[in-house]
Chains A and B, each alone.
Chain A
Amino acid sequence: MRFEEIDHTADVGIRAYGQSLDELFANAAEGMSSLIADLSTVKPVGEVEVRVTADDIPTLFLRWLSELLYVHETQRFLFSSFDAHVAGTALVGHARGETIDKSRHELKLAIKAVTRHGLTVDPEKGFAEVIFDI
């Protein structure tokens, strides 16, 4: 399993699994996107490159997801596949997907923001957790 939804009364979150930061970052991004739309309907026909830096890994993780959310919202893009390469506290990532087409895409949630609440990124334990404001 690459990720699962965290079940919480008022909020929505993702627990992503992976043995490395690269895997955790990519799987969390896929988890977040799966909340926004049914990814089986999203074809990876276009790609964007994301570069972010931070002072620490949790902040880097938060900025990566926030950046994807920003591109999703401002360019009306849905992403379905990701890769991420973390070196120190800098990241270069790629997200592939396509422009929203309501006739083909099943849209689910609007995510307002990526929160720091309970934010965990732990490749040694093999998981990352993040809560979204919706």
Chain B
Amino acid sequence: MVEGWNGPLEKVDRFRYQIPRTYKREMRTDGLIFIDEPLLPLLRQDRAPEQVANVATMPGIVGQSMAMPDIHWGYGFPIGGVAAFDYEDGVISPGGIGYDINCGVRLIRTNLTESEVRPHLRALTDACFKNVPSGVGEGGLVKISRQDLSKMATDGIEWSVGKGYAWPEDPDHIEAKGRLPDADFSHVSDRATTRGKDQVGSLGAGNHFLEIQKVDRVYDERAAKALGLESVGSVAIMVHTGSRGFGHQIATDYIDVCERVVKREKIELPDLQLACAPIGSKEGQDYWKAMCCGANFAWNNRQLITFGVRNAFADVLGRPADALGMGIVYDVCHNIGKVEEHVAAGGRRKVLVHRKGATRAFPAGHPETPATYRDVGQPVLIPGDMGTCSFVLVGQPAAMDLSFGSSCHGAGRQMSRKAATRTYSANEVLQSLERRGIYVHAASRAGIVEEAPGAYKNVEDVVRVAEGAGLTKIVARMVPLGVVKG
């Protein structure tokens, strides 16, 4: 049913394959996929490599059109795509950032061990489920006015600090300190506002989740110690969600705007879903400022969820969250555009990096790596599926040279939702997870089946390649104990 891809892939080294620019006349640069031989058959299963080639045709692209080892077919841009565009001559593309602006992952540590949590696992998971709305048609933890939403979208995480939803030290452990300062709410539509104002502090559905996890294996003791994850068996909470209807609507609105720009400016694109606007154009700047609002919303969304999780733990265990050591390890975006400086094409360049299903991975010593992690590198959080494991990594210097400081973001599906529904039943999935000590509280049975562990690629393969290529270093493996799904 799904068409495969038979185009040219030239091996650069063990972990990198190139699509030469000669593949298509319109390509302005090569495509570069971080992948190794065992993953090649999966790569060729869908048309994602063609999308890497398509992105290489876009105006102002700097360096190669890249994709991470968890690459799979997206809309226009592949999921797992990284592309940088020259700030002066390049374009910005809402589709290259994704509908779920600042979809990302947050990890919250605790000072608890598995043996302390086990007796309360069901109560803790249920309390998180109750405190954090999830699933189709659910509103958020708080309902806010349009005016408040405007302030949140502008101020970023400081909005949550001011409201008491965040601890004062939380922003230091969030990418960009939880605020993109170019946010301008006047470029956000009423429709986005209406979708967003009732959804602050909600998980959503699909592959979004909240997991109570334990450190299962430590690979790098020094880095794990810096991150507070050095003890095997210690418990942490991982949250994966984004900007909900607010971001989805901003993306929808500006894809429409950019389609008109493409026609007006006669930008030739192989796929309309790559619709874009020159970064310096009015439309490009309008989208950028709205995208920053979406990103700021998402950080507050994950913050409200953190607030709900801290309260759930405090209520069930009868101790305040600060006494449980529930600080944020880190919070990373994996659908985002960022204005950054990189050394590329022979000099230092200001570029707009699009990461769609890719995570920033800055190394030790980088000014944007939080002070507490400056010696080990910026944490990179890679969720797997609910049955196996997730990984914590840190950015490495080679990422700056090879991938605009980027790494992979997750496992990626290998089975369609329909195929998963044919293959599994909700009861089977739940029972098999329960046998392995994993308790799942899901809003819908469909969600359990579609997100069954077997429907995903092996996340270990993905992080192995990211480490092999030198982009990131594996610090710890996390396994789920309790899972909240939409």
Residues in chain A within 8 A of chain B (CB atoms): 5, 7-12, 36-37, 59, 66, 70, 72-74, 76, 78, 100, 102, 106-110, 112-117, 131, 133-134
B residues less than 8 Å from A107 (CB atoms):
135-137, 443-444, 446
Q: Which single member of A9, A78, A115 contacts B416 (CB below 8 Å)?
A: A9
Q: A107-B135, A109-B136 are in contact. Are A9 and B255 (CB under 8 A)?
A: no
Minimum C-beta distance from A12 to chain B (A):
6
| Main SS class of interface, B | loop
Mask, B60-80, CB within 8 Å of A = 1, is 000000000000111110010
Cα distance A115–B275 in the bound complex, in angstroms: 12
Q: Which single member of A37, A114, A115, A131 contacts B136 (CB below 8 Å)?
A: A37
Interface centre among A37, A106, A109 (most CB of B within 10 A): A109
B401-451 residues at the A interface, CB under 8 angstroms: 412-419, 443-447, 450
Minimum C-beta distance from B4 to chain A (A):
11
The contact sample of 25 A-B pairs, CB cut-off 8 A, is: A7-B416, A8-B1, A9-B2, A9-B413, A9-B414, A9-B415, A10-B79, A66-B252, A73-B245, A74-B194, A74-B195, A106-B445, A107-B444, A107-B446, A108-B447, A110-B135, A112-B100, A114-B252, A116-B75, A116-B259, A117-B273, A133-B75, A133-B98, A133-B100, A134-B206
A residues less than 8 Å from B486 (CB atoms):
110
A residues less than 8 Å from B416 (CB atoms):
7-10
| Closest A residue, CB atoms, query B243 | A112
Q: Which single member of B98, B191, B198 contacts A70 (CB below 8 Å)?
A: B191
Q: Are A10 and B205 in contact (CB under 8 A)?
A: no
Cα distance A74–B99 in the bound complex, in angstroms: 17
B residues less than 8 Å from A37 (CB atoms):
136
| Closest B residue, CB atoms, query A115 | B75
Q: Are A108 and B45 in contact (CB under 8 A)?
A: no
Q: Are B412 and A10 in contact (CB under 8 A)?
A: yes
Q: Which single member of B2, B195, B206, B271 contacts A8 (CB below 8 Å)?
A: B2
Interface centre among B73, B79, B249, B252 (most CB of A within 10 A): B252
B267-318 residues at the A interface, CB under 8 angstroms: 271-273
Cα distance A106–B75 in the bound complex, in angstroms: 28
Cα distance A113–B75 in the bound complex, in angstroms: 11
B residues less than 8 Å from A131 (CB atoms):
75
Q: Are B136 and A9 in contact (CB under 8 A)?
A: no
Q: Are B418 and A11 in contact (CB under 8 A)?
A: no
Cα distance A110–B46 in the bound complex, in angstroms: 24
Minimum C-beta distance from A16 to chain B (A):
16
Given A9-B2, A70-B249; 8 other pairs, CB 8 A cutoff: A7-B1, A7-B418, A8-B73, A9-B72, A9-B414, A9-B416, A114-B252, A131-B75
Q: A5-B418, A74-B194, A112-B100 are in contact. Are A10 and B72 (CB under 8 A)?
A: yes
Cα distance A108–B205 in the bound complex, in angstroms: 9
A residues less than 8 Å from B79 (CB atoms):
10
Q: A110-B206, A134-B206 are in contact. Are A76 and B137 (CB under 8 A)?
A: yes
B205-219 residues at the A interface, CB under 8 angstroms: 205-206
B248 touches A (CB below 8 Å): yes
B residues less than 8 Å from A102 (CB atoms):
137
Cα distance A112–B136 in the bound complex, in angstroms: 11
Q: Which single member of B45, B245, B273 contacts A116 (CB below 8 Å)?
A: B273
B251 touches A (CB below 8 Å): yes
B96 touches A (CB below 8 Å): no
B204 touches A (CB below 8 Å): yes
Minimum C-beta distance from A59 to chain B (A):
8
Cα distance A102–B418 in the bound complex, in angstroms: 23
Minimum C-beta distance from A5 to chain B (A):
6
Q: Are A10 and B413 in contact (CB under 8 A)?
A: yes
Minimum C-beta distance from A10 to chain B (A):
5
Minimum C-beta distance from A13 to chain B (A):
10
| Closest A residue, CB atoms, query B417 | A12
| Closest A residue, CB atoms, query B263 | A55
Q: Are B273 and A115 in contact (CB under 8 A)?
A: yes
B residues less than 8 Å from A59 (CB atoms):
256, 259
Minimum C-beta distance from B112 to chain A (A):
31
Q: Which 10 A-B pairs have the closest CB atoms?
A: A110-B205, A117-B75, A107-B136, A108-B446, A100-B137, A112-B248, A113-B99, A115-B75, A133-B99, A7-B418
Cα distance A117–B51 in the bound complex, in angstroms: 12
Q: A10-B79, A74-B195, A133-B248 are in contact. Are A109 and B205 (CB under 8 A)?
A: yes
Cα distance A5–B98 in the bound complex, in angstroms: 23
Cα distance A11–B72 in the bound complex, in angstroms: 10
Mask, B39-71, CB within 8 Å of A = 1, is 000000110000000000000000000000000
Mask, B249-263, CB within 8 Å of A = 1, is 101100110010000
Minimum C-beta distance from B268 to chain A (A):
17
Q: Are A70 and B195 in contact (CB under 8 A)?
A: yes
B residues less than 8 Å from A106 (CB atoms):
444-446
B residues less than 8 Å from A78 (CB atoms):
137
Minimum C-beta distance from B289 to chain A (A):
20
Cα distance A109–B419 in the bound complex, in angstroms: 15
| Closest A residue, CB atoms, query B100 | A112
Mask, B227-250, CB within 8 Å of A = 1, is 000000000000000000100110
B residues less than 8 Å from A76 (CB atoms):
137, 139
Interface centre among A7, A72, A133 (most CB of B within 10 A): A133
A residues less than 8 Å from B206 (CB atoms):
109-110, 112, 134
Q: A74-B194, A109-B205, A110-B205 are in contact. Are A36 and B248 (CB under 8 A)?
A: no
